[in-house]
Amino acid sequence: MRRMRLDRLLSRFGVSRKEAAELVKAGRAAVNGQTARDPGMVLDLDADAVTLNGAPVRTDAHFHIMLHKPSGVLTATEDGRGQTVLDLLPREWRSVGLGPVGRLDKDTTGLVILTTDGQLAHRLISPRWEQDKRYIARVEGRVGEDEVRRMAEGIPLKDFTCRPARLVVIEAGEDESLCEVVVSEGKYHQVKRMFGALAHPVLALHRQSIAGIALDPALEPGSWRELTEDERARLYAVTELEE
């Protein structure tokens, strides 16, 4: 069941959470025909009919979140053993049906997008839709022009050949190098396997962006925010879906 607090739902439509709470207290919202008085009332988004000033409020709109995943957290919706990205959200956000767009390894940090729109999530990770994912990788050894060329040609792995990837060497040292790599597919451990095939094991991996949506630099590890209207519009435009 998808649940959400009444004031949170109303605050998605141009008023702040505080203003939404005041509107509810003033008797301007109704749930299933009854005037609501409690801004914290928990709605069943699939069943309850909500109005504000007598006009219907959409409960079927999708939710989209960006989150800065810290190391040690699983990109899953539930796990008996470890902390998941959903555990980083306040309780009220855990039951609206959010799922991650692709997965990061437990030790990878950076951008995770969560959405309630399964079709959008599917298109964002499907190789057919070729959405770029940008990573910063700290790897062992000195990376140079040869590795840039081999990434651009497509690295052959045991079970498949990777699509051409863009590699930019940010800093090359004797012991380690810092690189930016852009891939348009997202197979299991793909970036680590690509660098592994080039004999540069990954020491740390961080995702910067998905489909042109960059991790907000104001988000500390473990924090999150809803996508802005522009970000949402971009994701629907690049996947050729209707919002």
As annotated, the active-site residues are: 105
Helix (DSSP H) and strand (DSSP E) numbers for the chain: 6, 15
Q: Minimum distance between the CB of residue 226 and ligand URA, rounded to whole angstroms?
A: 23
Q: Which residues bind ligand URA (CB under 6 A)?
A: 104-105, 108, 189-192, 205
| CA 80 vs CA 76, 83, 94: distances in Å | 11, 9, 16
Shortest spacing between CB 119 and ligand URA, in angstroms = 22
Task: Taking the CA atoms of 164, 155, 69 and 97 in sequence, report the sign of the dihedral they define.
Answer: positive
| Sign of the torsion formed by the C-alpha atoms of 194, 198, 201 and 206 | negative
Which residue lies nearer to ligand URA by CB, 27 or 72?
Answer: 72
Q: Provide the token pair at 181.
A: 């790599």
Would you give the DSSP letter of residue 56? E
Would you say 75 or 116 has its CB closer to ligand URA? 75
Helix (H) or strand (E) holding 120: helix 118-125
Query: How many residues are given for the chain?
Result: 243
Question: Quick one: 111 or 235, whose CB is closer to ligand URA?
Answer: 111
Pairing of strands 202-210, 109-115: parallel
CB 147, min distance to ligand URA, A: 16
Q: How far is the CB of 225 from ligand URA (least distance, A)?
A: 21
Nearer to ligand URA, 22 or 140 (CB): 140
